[in-house]
Amino acid sequence: MYDEEQSERLEEDSLAIAKELQDLQLAGVAAAQGVADA
Amino acid sequence: MFLTHGAGRRLGTLQTALREIFRYFPSSQAVVVPRDDLFIAQIHLQAFILNVSGVFDNWAWAFVHRHGLLAAIGDRRRVGMFISYTEEHLPAPLRDYLRQAHIRTWYSQYHKDYRDALAHRIPVHIPPAYFTEEEAQRHEELEAQKAQLIQAQDWQQLNVVWAEQDALGVPCPLFVHEYQIQGGAPYLHPQLLSDAKTVVEFGNLFYEAWQADQ
């Protein structure tokens, strides 16, 4: 597996990237507004 | 439609799949992951890989529809972010991103292979454990015993053998789509984060270009 430092970093990064995916999802909603059939 | 019902839904799936993989197979896992938990992590891994592929396809289709490019591209099968017929119509920031050597390598030598295997050949799976030579030998012996016990319909003893087999080894944070690992297999947690980061980087560029075009 990973050492303790690597493991903690992976856990932290997973939370940060999940948030970035959520922000991207919202950016997509904003982009689609006003565009027919987007 | 491709942005809201396609890409939007897939981005939600990617968030959930990532969270659940880290829940059922934490990067801090010290002992072999229980069989049921490993299976759930594997299902989320499969959803993750297919939806990474799908979100790029949705963005490609949204772009093609918005700009009425299907006739110029010539064929539905030529629509895709990693297909030159589509790529040549993209705005420069998107084209430049996709043409980076590490992105081309990520797609052609890893992602496409795992996605195609999952969809059409051997589904991606997480090996149950790393074994020492002795543990591997014991695992094989137990596998043979299981076959005999199934023949004999001795379900009680079968459970005992399953339990011993499940306790062998240490966690194996890799994923593969063949039984034999050739040329190295990706590490589960860092690879997922790298894949998600690629989606986020490209997605942000895509939506910036989309907004700038209005």
For B66-85, write each residue's pLDDT tens digit. Answer: 999 999 999 999 999 999 99
Give the one of B19, B30, B211 whose C-beta lies nearest to A18's C-beta.
B19
**What confidence score (pLDDT) does residue A37 get?**
56
Per residue in B8-17, pLDDT (tens digit) is 999 999 999 9
In this complex, which of A10, A25, A34 lies closest to B189 when CB atoms are compared?
A10
The interface residues of chain A toward chain B in range 8-37, judged by CB-CB distance below 8 A, are: 8, 10-11, 13-14, 17-18, 20-22, 24-25, 27-32, 34-35, 37
d(CA B48, CA B118): 11
B84 touching A (Cβ < 8 Å)? no
Neighboring chain A residues of B26 at a CB cutoff of 8 Å: 7, 11
Burial of B194 per CB tally in 10 Å (0-12, 13-18, 19+): middle
Name the average pLDDT for chain B. 94
Q: Where are the domains of chain B?
A: 2-130+173-212, 131-169
Q: What DSSP string describes A1-38?
A: ---HHHHHHHHHHHHHHHHHHHHHHHHHHHHHTTSTTT
Residue entry with tokens 């990693």: B82
Give the pLDDT score at B213.
84
Instruction: Please determine, for residue B60, whether its predicted confidence score (pLDDT) is greater than 80.
Output: yes
pLDDT at B20 over 70: yes
Give how far A12 is from chain B: nearest CA, Å. 10
Chain B hits for A6, CB-CB cut-off 8 Å, are 27
The answer to whether ipTM exceeds 0.85 is: yes
Please compute, for residue B144, the number of CA atoms within 13 A of its CA located in the half-sphere on the CB side: 5
Q: Which residues of B touch A1 (CB under 8 A)?
A: 27-30, 170-171, 173
Whether residues B27 and A21 touch (CB distance < 8 A) is answered with no
Instruction: Write out residues 108-167 of B within 8 Å (CB-CB) of A.
Output: none
- B183 pLDDT higher than 70: no
Q: Identify the pLDDT of residue B44.
A: 98
C-alpha dihedral, B199 to B121 to B13 to A12, nearest 10°: -60
pLDDT at B181 over 70: no
Structure-model confidence comparison of residues B87 and B213, the more confident one:
B87
| Cα→Cα distances B120→B65, B81, B116, Å | 28, 21, 6
Residues B128-147: what's their mean pLDDT? 95
Q: How far is CA B166 from the centre of its chain?
A: 24
User: Which residue bears the tokens 């939506």?
Assistant: B207
Res B77: pLDDT = 96
Query: Residue A35 CB: number of other CB atoms within 10 A?
Result: 16
What is the mean predicted confidence (pLDDT) over B176-184? 68
Interface residue of A5, A13, A24, A33 to substitute, partner B, most B CBs within 10 Å? A24
Beta bridge partners, B107, equal: none
